[in-house]
Chain A
């Protein structure tokens, strides 16, 4: 299985901050990577696919980059609605796997 490792596990930030979350794959996944946002008690929501493509309806302050084994999700200016847990997911090969999550908390 391809192991996905996110860092940090928890991130404390303030409204307006630029936030970066990293996701590393245990082997190359080209650009087959998605990012999801999950709020407590809710289902995950797709933000980014193919590493850098923004899902329709997702605010442009979210962006993704990277290829191979290292990827980042950036929130350019953190908004109150963005405090949540973020997951990366590789879909290069079966079984599809997720990172352990990064919780973005209010500082």
Chain B
């Protein structure tokens, strides 16, 4: 059974870079696509971007200039870097696994989520 676990600092200063890692267990990271999704406190869900073990990535146009998503197959992990953060980036960040057909993917397994707060 797949398990995903987010890790990283819970507090980031404004204008700095948010860095999170998702450790995947129970399945090879090379077998699926993987995404980051976030949820500001009390609000809805926003897809941030995905990565594939091949190095293929895609991200939300509104975040594309600040987002880097990478994969480390040797550690069965993938990571998110979000630069120049502001208070609007305060959210619970989830790592998720894709299921579906090329470009038509939904999310069948989720990490527990980690709250990242941006401080001024």
Interface positions of A (Cβ within 8 A of B): 1, 32, 34, 36, 42-46, 49, 55, 87, 89, 91-101
Q: Which of B46, B47, B94 has the largest count of A CB atoms less than 10 A from its CB?
A: B47
A selection of 29 A-B contacts at a CB cut-off of 8 Å is A1-B61, A32-B104, A34-B107, A42-B112, A43-B94, A43-B110, A43-B111, A43-B113, A44-B94, A44-B107, A44-B110, A46-B106, A46-B107, A49-B100, A49-B108, A55-B108, A87-B44, A89-B106, A89-B107, A91-B100, A92-B104, A93-B103, A94-B58, A95-B61, A95-B62, A96-B105, A97-B47, A98-B47, A100-B44
* Nearest CB of chain B from residue A36's CB, rounded to whole Å: 8
Given the complex, which residues of A lie within 8 Å of B112, measured CB to CB?
42-43
Taken together as a complex, chains A and B put the C-alpha atoms of A93 and B111 apart, in Å, by 24
The interface residues of chain B, by DSSP majority, are classed as strand
Q: Which of A42, A96, A98, A99 has the largest count of B CB atoms less than 10 A from its CB?
A: A96
* Nearest CB of chain B from residue A90's CB, rounded to whole Å: 9
- A99 x B44 contact (CB < 8 A): yes
- A45 x B104 contact (CB < 8 A): no
* Nearest CB of chain B from residue A85's CB, rounded to whole Å: 9
Given the complex, which residues of A lie within 8 Å of B58, measured CB to CB?
94
Taken together as a complex, chains A and B put the C-alpha atoms of A87 and B113 apart, in Å, by 17
- A95 x B47 contact (CB < 8 A): yes
